[in-house]
Structure 1
Amino acid sequence: MTRVLISDDDDLMRAGLAELLSNDPTIDIVGHAATGREAVERASRLRPDVVLIDVRMPDLDGIMATREVSRTALGVRVLILTTFEQDDYIFGALRAGASGFLLKRTRPEELIAARRGRTNQMLKRVRDTLSQMRRDRMEIELAVVARRADVSRTFLYTNNQAQQLLAEAKTDATATSSPSPTRPADATGSWKDRALNAEDAPRAAYAEIGNQRDQISRLLGQIRDLEIDLPADAVERITTENRTLRQDNRKLTTDNQRLTDRLKAARENNRFLDTRIARLEAELVEHLNLGQNPQQDHAADLRTEPGEP
């Protein structure tokens, strides 16, 4: 089952495409979008296998929407719907990450054939990936298969042929990993087994990378949701407030430095005044001592009688 999201600003076009594609039992219409931003948000949230996007959309054109879907919804394929055959539109869509394009005058059977062609391509990548993983004696894990085959996990969960391929690969891997009765007992520690065991670390690293990519995708989707919910002038207002706060911070830093310099100068002045006061006190004590000595000499002269040697 291929999950499809239809994005077109024309209500009749969306309804017609949905009715047309619903006639194919292998197609599941998971959602609709009337603007480019709705297409990006719903592709990130619903995780379809294929998104049909009109090249001319309000709010966010089809090429920009394709670029955002390719960035935020990893593994989701985009097909551009257009009434134009100009190279600029086609090349712009392909550069933005589109897997292909369809003209709106395309006959219904051609549209369904294009969808089936995309499904067959994804099945071929899954088949080749599973064959390579069996040759490399890797453990068959859905997340690893989806990443190496460049398909969405939803495709592996919902497509019957993909599920059958996974089941056969897991069964074959289990049978291959079971010990052979004719294998020598001393072959357990051979270089081949050690080489196979050395794959555990890269396999764990691949799994961790996959988990990190999924988390990044979820966070990017949340950021996109916040950007959509914010008012149109919110980013500009926050930027202006941030710039004003930085200017105030620089002014306060300058004022603090100026006050620090003034405090340092005041302390230097206090030390100079303390030194000056100590010097004046010493001079005053010296003058007082000099004033007392002449009076003592005069009093001694008065006590001396005349004629005494």
Structure 2
Amino acid sequence: MEEAEEKGGSGALELPDAASAAWRVKLDYESEATFAERWEQFLGAVDTERVTALVIGQWSPEEPEGFQEPMEAIAAAAGRLPALRALFVGDITFEECEISWIQQCDITPLLTAFPRLAELVVRGASQDWDGKGGLALKPLRHEALEALRFEAGGLPGSVVRSVAGCDFPALERLELWLGVDNYGGDATMADVALFLDGTRFPKLRHLGLQNSEFQDDIAAAVAHAPVVARLESLRLSMGVLTDQGATALLEGQPLTHLRSLDLHHHYLTEEMQQRLRQALAGVEVDLSEPGKPDDQWRYVAVAE
């Protein structure tokens, strides 16, 4: 509720129209309030029946805590949020908490509670300090979901497989930040391959398989993947992509139908970058944030 401004000297808050804003609910560092109290404050202050977008920030005032209780409170209020179409869980910056420390839970109840939700973004994946919880998803059917993104320094392979097992007939955009094994990112090429044969998500037009230590293997598989023919944009960014993976892309199926190809944060030589620009002259190719191709310490963009 940071968007609110005070009126004159009255001390009252001037709130924007409920449908015109993305409402952010969070706790400040060392806040004396609990998330449950802040959530009830939001529900009481805003015309929630007209809220279309909701951003959940830090839910613990100091040390990271699991998202289970806040998730249950949000899901329980679904009847008061009938217009909600976009939900971002975990809008927490590194100054507040490293992404690998954000303690998530099974977020399936959010999708079941909000059957008209069109966009879901979830940041973080880790378990609590006792090794319990952690990001999870049960395969389900959701008629309305159009965009899904998981941002993690280590995305569990179980979540990747569950996404592939879901039935999302309206899904147009999917992005998975795979991360590294040190932070729970144990997905394999077999898991990634589940999205490449073109049989899932018939409306998919944007695919992101990103932030991976095996980005070259992903690029090689994408180069011959049936799903690519119906994509408008492709993101293979944020990972350890080298000339090997880029060569596979150039030697595979044509990519000239794409509107954009995002390869930012890579380890490509200048010569390979030039080859990509020439071969894909009509495509918006993002080659920003280059690393040194001969650097033995290669890393993904987002880990801890």
TM-score of the alignment, normalized to the shorter chain, above 0.5: no
* TM-score (structure 1 length as normaliser): 0.24
Task: Using CA pairs under 8 Å that are at least 6 residues apart, name the structure with larger relative contact order, 1 or 2.
Answer: 1
Question: Which structure has greater strand proportion?
Answer: 2
Question: Which structure has greater helix proportion?
Answer: 1
